[in-house]
Structure 1
Amino acid sequence: MKYMKFFLFVSCFFLLMACGTTNNGATNGGTGSDQDDPAQEEEGVKDLTGHIVSIDGNRILVTGENAHNSVSATWYTIDDNTLITLASGREPGIVLQVGMKVETWNTGIVLESFPSQASAVKIIVDDSQPLKEREAIEQALSEVDPSQPWLVATVEEEGDMYKVTLKNLLSDDEEVEIEVKVE
């Protein structure tokens, strides 16, 4: 009977000890802390691929397709930790502009409003986008209500003119086609 009580006590002790152990930081570089791997935090979560349709101080509004191939809009806050680079890998002093085609990465925390809001971890600018196309998108967006989240649906070059098709993401109205001349 003594052995039975002792065995039961030791078993309960080991069971309680096993419940309180961690994985020794296997996912966080062996630090033993509950924090995620800093390298993973810097990488972020891939979010939208689309166009910058508005800039407000340290925030940009990007509309485009998300990782689930659905159309969305997100205001990204840019801070000193945001990596802004070109798709070709070069990292000169990039100034973000309306009309630029970008790929965005966020911290994984997204405020579910519309447009949603997130902190940008990384912004990759598509440097294969022709300058005149970016300027055409910027001109077209200047002709519509700037308070609305506009999706750049298509951009077609027609000689010295561009036809930019915009879709208001807050409305079921028809798409708006705007022809602009870029010099």
Structure 2
Amino acid sequence: MKKEWVFGTVIGISLVLGACGAASTSDDYDPNEAGAEDIEPDMAGFVMDQDENRILVVTPMDEETAKEGRAMWVSEAPEGLWIGKQVEVWVDGAIAESFPEQATAERVQELEMSEVEGADLKASEALSTALSEADRENILAVELLAFDQQADQWTVKLKERGDSQGEWKTIVKDEK
């Protein structure tokens, strides 16, 4: 009987001490602070349009499932030219469930695209050039962004989102 009581006491103390060591959350938590855990972005995709401090972020087309993904107008983006860049977005507050969705940016971070061997343009520059030539009345999603080293050109294939489901393909010469 005494052994059971001692064993029970040891288990109880272990549980109490374990609870004391548990991390607590704080309202002062800053995800950008050194050593803080990274929080997953609310959305990632290509910036397909920009209107002053608002950017339209659209996820690329998924070839395997033909799923269209998401489109979101993000307000309060940092100043600069964003069209063509691949970004991650963290949202401050609620996301309006319209089409496209609408939200306010807490943080927008450009994703570094690897350099393409033999290409003068970055992939973001090729996409930006293609978008400047495209009719952007409808929301476009990236279906293909590829560099052909022999032809020294980029192939950009975009697909319209929504009811029309049209496709648009262009060749961008690889020159700055």
TM-score by length of 1: 0.63
Q: Alignment partner for residue 140 of structure 1, among 130, 144, 152?
A: 130
- 1:173 corresponds to: 165
- 2:63 corresponds to: none
Q: Is the Cα–Cα contact under 8 Å of residues 41 and 107 in structure 1 kept in the other structure?
A: no
- 1:64 corresponds to: 59
- 1:103 corresponds to: 88
Alpha-carbon displacement from aligned partner over 1:16-38 (angstroms, at most 9, x marks no partner): xxxxxxxxxx9663xxxxxxx24
Q: CA deviation at 1:48?
A: 1.8
Provide the aligned length of Structure 1 versus Structure 2.
135
Unaligned runs of 5+ in 1: 1-25, 30-36, 85-93
Q: Alignment partner for residue 128 of structure 1, among 108, 113, 118?
A: 113
Higher strand share: 1
Mapped partners of 1:146, 1:106: distance in 2: 25
Partner secondary structure for residue 122 of structure 2: helix
Q: CA deviation at 1:41?
A: 8.5
Tell me the amino acid that sits aligned with residue 154 of structure 1.
L
Mapped partners of 1:129, 1:171: distance in 2: 34
Tell me the amino acid that sits aligned with residue 73 of structure 1.
A
Q: Does 1:77 align with 2:75?
A: yes
Mapped partners of 1:117, 1:38: distance in 2: 26
Mapped partners of 1:44, 1:107: distance in 2: 13
Mapped partners of 1:181, 1:171: distance in 2: 31
Q: CA deviation at 1:111?
A: 0.8
Q: CA deviation at 1:78?
A: 1.5
Mapped partners of 1:140, 1:179: distance in 2: 8
Q: CA deviation at 1:169?
A: 1.1
Q: CA deviation at 1:56?
A: 0.4
Change (3 A) 1:119 1:132: same
Q: CA deviation at 1:74?
A: 0.3
- 1:156 corresponds to: 146
Unaligned runs of 5+ in 2: 1-22, 33-37, 61-66, 116-120
Mapped partners of 2:155, 2:132: distance in 1: 14
- 1:48 corresponds to: 43
Tell me the amino acid that sits aligned with residue 58 of structure 2.
T
TM-score by length of 2: 0.65
Tell me the amino acid that sits aligned with residue 162 of structure 1.
W
